[in-house]
Amino acid sequence: MKKNKMSIVKPPSFKELVQTYGSPKKAILHLIEAGFSPEQIQWKMRVPYHRIRLYLEETDLRERVPFSRIVEVYERLAVLRSKKGKETELAKFFKTANIPLAIKTRFAIGTLADENLRIGSGLIERSISMATGAPLSQVRKLLIDYGELGEVAYLLKKPKKSELTVREVYETIRLLPKLEKVRERELLVSSILRLSTPLEAKYIVRLLLGDLKLGYYTKTVIIAASKAYEVPSEIIENASAILGLPETIVTASKNVLKLSEVKMRPGQFIRPQLAHLYESDKVVYPVRVEYKLDGSRLQIHRWGTQVKLFSRRGIEKSQTLPEIVNIANTFNAQSCIIDGEVIAVDDFGKPLPFQSLLKRTVPRKLEPKELAERVKEVKVTFKAFDILYLNGQELIKNPLLIRRQYLLEVVPSKYIVEGMNCQNEIDLMRFYEDALKKRFEGIVVKNLNAPYEIGKRTYTWLKLKPERDTIDCTIVKALYGKGKRAGFYSSFLLATRDPTEKKLYTIGKVSNIPEETMHILRTIIEKTKTGEDEEGVFVKPSIVVEVTYQEIQETDEYTSGFALRVPKVVRFRTDKTVNEIDDVGKLKKLYELQYDRYPSQSL
């Protein structure tokens, strides 16, 4: 008599679970409820980690356009040398089918999410190592040899068939800001790199680091959209200052008339107008002259009982600045958008240095207890200097003279920056000297007949500060110390940007940094270093510093052609990105102006 053989019951595969529960998301949720973590599900079910996280977010991955389509466009753009060629290629890309236009626009500008992705080169290095099996030491050696992590990923990835889709890459990268733990972000990045081809890996890494290295800027994308949809580039540029570029280009493709009718509204961030350096021949009298405050730019949006506060970069700040929300509620308006600055003040209302304000403008949400402690420690107030919108009416096309009348009606006088109208240069310079005596940074000179120009740096606003004007630049290399500074970095190589291309040019070395700050910088540098030589380590440009100097000299020692003599760090600009640092053009202009503006005996 034959005995029945007992069969081993195998656990269900992920495919079987999907059939049982009806969808990948429900299958994943079943496993989560059964006590498995996403990392365990990846290991047991052989499901890529990034797809598990996307299923949990209910992301629809049925759209099957291969990511290789985007890579083909990138590779074509990489070989085109002229701007016109790149504009034409991007215009063709916009007109292709199957990929939503808003997503194509984000891939074109190389920014898939508005939020900070919360990753750096160190995390990318570890993720490449995890995805390829290469030792971390090999990743770092290749980085020193090639100088760019996208190229490192390309070299280490083995050839394979493309599996990734456009939607999958797009949603995975946009998921990064939501992940709290570094380990989760490493698993996500390494997971998507594991499925990529070498070329796909190169551009995924570049998208993660915010630099496609294709030799064009946002302006090129705007001109390309203008060509594709036969819309004047000025209309696209103006509308994008309000809507953002992806939404603007989508609107341009559907309804040109609607685009020309785009209006600002409270609650939607407006890119602020910026000032140029003071040049006397650019001043048209009479002018408005105001104290230049040592604070942070802040835009107040109020409509009904709602209030939103936006930083210069469009980060919403109402949770961390409750006193400013209270100030906004005193405004005499149903709805308004007010431009100004938030400043730290002492118990008597006198302005404090910018460094004090940093404790109140942290880029994260604060727990109630921590917020209460910071509110008690550092008091803040608001100083308004412009109004852009009032009770349903845009005011930006009105001259400043008219806008100020509205501002005075809406904002209580104690919350308006002090200033005066000057009829001539004598009045202006008297006010400037008064500003310095009162320990303000300097003055801002404004054309009374000019409109408010969204998102532009214009000569209708001019800033004048004492000494030599400061320069916002970035650290590109940390140099090893000697003697007492052995074991630490002793000085830092500074650079400014090219005005039209993604290039940085060195301008000098700074070393007047306290030991406490040196320790902080060491931590940042270790996380962002990209290579090293006998002198020190090269770093990914991420730290923005404002420096002053005694003089600008011509030299061939630095790649800009200029050198800052005795540069000193004024402050670290955490409110600015590397894309916002000063360019070589400003350095050249300061060099040309310095002896006209300052007597030689003062040097």
- State how far the Cα of 598 lies from the Cα of 572, in Å rounded to an integer: 26
Q: Name the strands in the sheet holding 296-303, side by side, starting at the edge strand that comes first in the sequence.
A: 306-311, 296-303, 335-345, 379-390, 393-394
8 A C-beta contact, residue 400 and residue 388: no
Closest CA to 176 of 156, 164, 190: 190
8 A C-beta contact, residue 586 and residue 552: no
C-alpha neighbours within 13 Å on the C-beta side of residue 391: 8
Q: How many CB atoms lie within 10 A of CB 375?
A: 17
- Could you say which of 25, 157, 292, 586 is catalytic? 292
Non-local CB neighbours of 1 within 8 Å, separated by 6+ positions:
none
- State how far the Cα of 242 lies from the Cα of 233, in Å rounded to an integer: 15
8 A C-beta contact, residue 271 and residue 337: no
Question: Is 292 in the active site?
Answer: yes
**Partners of residue 310 on adjacent β-strands:** 299, 316
- State how far the Cα of 573 lies from the Cα of 357, in Å rounded to an integer: 12
**Quick one: angle between helices 218-229 and 233-243, nearest 10?**
120
Non-local CB neighbours of 565 within 8 Å, separated by 6+ positions:
508, 549, 550, 551, 552, 553
Q: What is the DSSP letter of 538?
A: E
Q: How many CB atoms lie within 10 A of CB 72?
A: 13
Locate 486 and state its tokens.
């052995």
User: 393-394 and 379-390: which strand pairing?
Assistant: antiparallel
3-state secondary structure 32-72: HHCCCCHHHHHHHHCCCHHHHHHHHCCCCCCCCCECHHHHH
- State how far the Cα of 68 lies from the Cα of 162, in Å rounded to an integer: 7
Supply angle C-alpha 410, 412, 413, rounded to 5: 120
DSSP letters of 189-206? HHHHHHTS-HHHHHHHHH
Q: Which residue numbers are catalytic? A: 292
